[in-house]
């Protein structure tokens, strides 16, 4: 495994354990050159499925795209990278558990927003503002008011 810090090709495994759902193995590694530690995940290479974009294009599902979007939305928020990784795994598991080999980008976006809403309101609003392409401040305020209403047990 190549070190992400110095790009040296050799590392040793310090710890291995299955993730909660058992779908992947988390390995804690140490570079044999710079001695920095990093985490890798080993997953079964499953049958690929496609994401149907809003314009009808199809592209292979990318877990990395979901992870990057969630990381950007939660930047400087009190959400650990491990929590985000777990949520992405949960989203991927939900998508793969369906019988369809194609899933719409809207379904994925809504799943991400639901999970972010549970984790952190600010991260949710950041993601929603990009995903829903808020055109003006009024649409942004509407989303904030809806979030406040839901957060207060449905009270305004």
Mean pLDDT (the chain, rounded): 88
Q: Which has the closest alpha carbon to 127: 66, 62, 47, 69?
A: 69
> CA–CA separation, 133 vs 135, rounded Å?
6
Q: Which has the closest alpha carbon to 112: 79, 150, 68?
A: 68
Domain ranges of the chain: 1-45, 47-151
Mean pLDDT of 118-132: 88
- Share of the chain residues as helix, strand and coil, in percent rounded to the nearest 5: 45, 20, 35
Phi-psi region of 35 (alpha: psi -120 to 50; beta: other; left: phi over 0): left
Q: What is the pLDDT of residue 24?
A: 85
CB atoms within 10 A of CB 123: 24
Mean pLDDT of 116-121: 92
The pLDDT tens digits of the residues spanning 55-79 come to: 999 999 999 999 999 999 999 999 9
Q: Which has the closest alpha carbon to 39: 87, 81, 91, 100?
A: 81
Q: What percent of the chain has pLDDT over 90?
A: 61
């Amino acid at each position: 495994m190549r070190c992400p810090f110095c790009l040296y090709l050799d590392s040793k495994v310090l710890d291995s354990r299955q993730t909660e759902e058992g779908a992947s193995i988390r390995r804690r590694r140490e570079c044999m050159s710079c001695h920095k530690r990093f985490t890798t995940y080993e997953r079964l290479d499953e049958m690929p499925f496609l994401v149907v974009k809003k314009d009808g294009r199809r592209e292979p599902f990318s877990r990395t795209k979901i992870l990057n979007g969630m990381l950007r939305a939660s930047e400087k928020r009190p959400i650990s990278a491990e929590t985000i990784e777990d949520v992405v795994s949960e989203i991927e598991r939900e998508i793969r558990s369906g019988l369809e080999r194609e899933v719409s980008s809207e379904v994925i976006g809504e799943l991400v927003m639901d999970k972010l809403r549970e984790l952190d309101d600010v991260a949710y609003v950041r993601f929603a503002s990009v995903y829903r392409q808020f055109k003006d401040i009024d649409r942004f305020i509407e989303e904030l008011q809806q979030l406040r209403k839901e957060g207060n047990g449905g009270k305004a």
